[in-house]
Structure 1
Amino acid sequence: MSMKELLAEDCGGRNPLLDAASHITRDQAFRQENLKTKHLSGYGTDELMVREFLEESKLGQEALMRRPPQSFQMQRLLQEVQEIEGSRQNIVQPGPSVSVITRSQPSSQWASEFLETAKEGNWIEEFNSQSNYGSHQGAFQDVWDTAKEMPLASDLLQQSETWATEFAEATSSVNNQRASEWVSEFKNEDIWDKMETDWQRAALDSPMDLPWLEASQSEQRANEYEFSDENPLSNSPNALEVGKQRRAEGDLSNAVLLFEAAVQKDPSLVEGWLLLGITLAENEQDREAIKALNRCLELDSNSLEARMAIAVSYTNEGLSMQACKALEEWIASNPKYSGLINPAGKFSSRKNAESSLLSGELYGRLQDMYTEAARLMLNNEIDADVQEGLGVLLNLTCEYKKAADCFRAALTVRPNDARLWNRLGATLANGGNSEESIEAYRTALNLFPGFVRARYNLSVACIHLRAYREAAEHLVSALNMQASATLPGKSSVMSDSIWITLRSVLSKLERRDLFPDVNNRNLQRLVQEFGA
């Protein structure tokens, strides 16, 4: 809108700007509320406007509070609703319900009306006239004729069986001849010897091309006992007897060297291999002990002492299945109890040979055999070996209370057996009775002061009782015993497990300053600190 239109008047009308001014001047709201502008001195224009706005708002609120309450205008609302209802002209009215129709018209009449409608309708003819079925009927007929000419599945199956019979008859004679040749070749041991020789030659000629064969041969060599490279006692006369004397004195490390010298001079010396394995186990070297004891059993499979000793070493190494096999072989090799073995259920040397997991079936059979052997009580005497084997077996399934009872029963027959006292102490410690186990370990050490394994087990019991200083002293003493025969420039005789345990104890003692001495195997520094 232009300014001219605001100021000038149209014909017969008033000026719009004047109308707006008159509207403001005639505003009834301001007049009714008696709002008057007050001039406040001392305030600027902006502040004055704010003051006026606040006062007007306050007055407006007070006026609203003074107004009498007004009732809701229901009459006006009713009038508006009637006007809205009157404007609806195309609203669909609901029809009668089904019940009304049913009451007013019988069902028979519905059926008659439906049939009459169906008779009058020609929907089938209309569908046929609108569809193209007639144009495709010829194509459908051709497909159907072709399908009828194809052979049935039963005919194909019969034909395939005929082919199979003809093929079998044609090749039966050739197959029988070849099978006979294969069986003859398989039974020929010369072929296997030749094949083994060829594989060995191939591994030597091109080891990079056959790494799996080299790994297999390395594993086989790993199961063989490795002698010390530089044995200062290798030329000792009568090494076996001297080794027995050193072992009795508690000098296990030098006894091991003497027994090695004895079996090197005579590899078929069964007693030498047996004492070597037992002494290695007493010196906390179970892995090497297993190798020596296996060699002993290869030479004498009926050695009961070797069977029991290797079962204990397998248990210490966590090889439960191998321990069970050794315990079963002990029963089978013992003429007193061999009748308890069931040949049909005997443990196979090949089945599960590589597994260390305990078989429930094998364990149950072994437990029954050893329990029956213990009940026999030949000559009304307790068989300490049977009780010892049963105690080892119960340790495999963590039945420590029963195992401890078995070792106590064996000690009634052999009270001066240091190894039995050590096994009793280990069983008590595993069952949570560390305080009681210490007494058993001390008894074993009193009988056999050089018993390194008992000394190590005693340190572990002290750790469980949080006597860390005493544990460190026993560990250093055990290492010092092992180091008495350490070869120049080598520390392999000392057990790694003892060093690892000692490092853990030093951490508990907050003696991290001694960690470098442990890492460098500086035993002299540790002996000065803890004694030996």
Structure 2
Amino acid sequence: MIQLGGVDRSQTSQFQLWYTLGQVLVRDERDDKGIKALVRAVKESTGQPEGNSAVLELAIAYVNQSYDMACFITLLRFLRSAHPLHANLPELDSIRGHALWSVRDIVKDAFLSLAREQHAKNVVDPEIQMGLGVLLYSEAEYDRAAECFQAALSINPENAVLWNRLGSCLSNGNRPEEAIGSYRRALEIWPNYTRAVVNIGVACLNMGAHKEAVEHFLSAIGMHDGSGSRAPSKAIPRGVKSNEDIWKTLRRTFLAMDRHDLAERALAPDRSAEGFRGEGFEF
């Protein structure tokens, strides 16, 4: 049974419960379960002030898992809900059955059109910039996507998701040092943001800083099983197993270090982050 510590269910709407759970799961690298929670939140979102934000976060969760078609359709659903009076927004049914690239172009054109209208009025809408950034990221337009996330951050600088997405753009755009700065800012805002910890590890791995990469991956695993220095007391849902992908990336890092002994230990059924603390890793 997944629970959210510190949440009074009797005083919280079904929408807010599912939305909060979805946000925490996605930030904790548990995207499949996070998506299910966010889908439920969207179903309960009628009349909720944060309803459109939940739709947008669902789109981002989809792209995290490379569910691109679901992401693009969800972004269009967000536009139709948040900006129903914007001209020439396509109907959802009109794009079903189209090729992936076609749907992406249709949705991107709609976001670009609205962003240009807002720019002409000196308006920067962080949600529109976030959605556009996600679309550009999906096309590997990392520099342009980074500009969108930076624009959104100029309005909403305390949004950890935006900082993390900016970091991903910078990392994929061969700017790992800048990416790490963005990930660290995300962690300042949300200290239990497991995804940002993992992303720092990936950036370190790409720079050849293998020991630092291992320490961040072990820290993320510790956050999952409650053994790491960052391990939260209440913010992370209980009853969900640790993310296998982090262990796979950790094992790949050990192999890059020519530490086949540690790579084998990362496969053991009784593996834990604590088991590697005696190998000189600090986390």
**TM-score when normalising by structure 1:** 0.47
**Is 1:286 aligned with 2:27?**
no
Contact 1:286 1:313 in 2 (8 A): yes
Tell me the residue number matched to 2:214.
472
CA distances 1:252-308 after superposition (whole Å, capped 9, x unpaired):
xxxxxxxxxx4xx79971100000001101001111111001111112257111111
Q: Does the Cα contact within 8 Å between 1:320 and 1:358 map onto a contact in 2? A: no
Looking at structure 2, the residues matched to 315 and 361 of structure 1 have their Cα atoms a distance apart, in angstroms, of 17
Of the two, which has the highest radius of gyration? Answer: 1
Tell me which residue corresponds to 2:70: 322
Aligned to 1:429: 171
Q: Relative to structure 1, is the Cα distance of residues 293 and 358 closer, same or farther in structure 2, using a 3 angstrom cutoff? A: farther
Identify which of 122, 144, 157 aligns with 1:380. 122
1:338 maps to which residue? 84
1:494 match: 242
Distance in 2 of aligned mates of 1:479 and 1:517: 14
Q: Pairwise CA RMSD of aligned residues?
A: 2.7
C-alpha displacement of 1:400:
1.0
% identical aligned pairs: 33
Counterpart of 2:101 in structure 1 is 360
Matching of residue 351 in structure 1 with residue 96 in structure 2 = yes
Give unpaired runs (5+ residues) of structure 2.
227-231
How far the C-alpha of 1:359 sits from its partner, in A, is: 2.5
1:456–1:475 Cα contact (<8 Å) kept: yes
Question: Which residue in the other structure is 2:159 paired with?
Answer: 417
Q: CA deviation at 1:456?
A: 0.3
- Counterpart for residue 276 of structure 2: 526
Higher relative contact order (CA closer than 8 Å, sequence separation 6+) = 2
Q: Distance in 2 between matches of 1:291 and 1:421?
A: 24
Tell me, in whole angstroms, the C-alpha distance in 1 between the residues paired with 2:46 and 2:259. 50
Contact 1:332–1:341 under 8 Å retained in 2: no
Aligned 1:55-70 pairs, distance under 5 A:
none
- Residues 209-260 of structure 1 deviation map (CA, whole Å, 9 limit, x = unaligned): xxxxxxxxxxxxxxxxxx44xx6x7xx7xx525xxxxxxxxxxxxxxxxxxx
In 2, distance between residues paired with 1:350 and 1:295?
Answer: 24
- One of 449, 458, 470 as aligned partner of 2:200: 458
In 2, are the aligned partners of 1:517 and 1:523 still within 8 Å (CA)? Answer: no
Q: Which residue number corresponds to residue 143 of structure 2?
A: 401
Give aligned pairs, total: 267
Distance in 1, Cα, partners of 2:158 & 2:78: 23
Asked if 1 retains the 8 angstrom alpha-carbon contact of 2:27 and 2:193, the reply is yes
Q: Which runs of 5+ in 1 are unaligned?
A: 1-226, 242-261
Q: Which residue of 2 aligns with 1:446?
A: 188
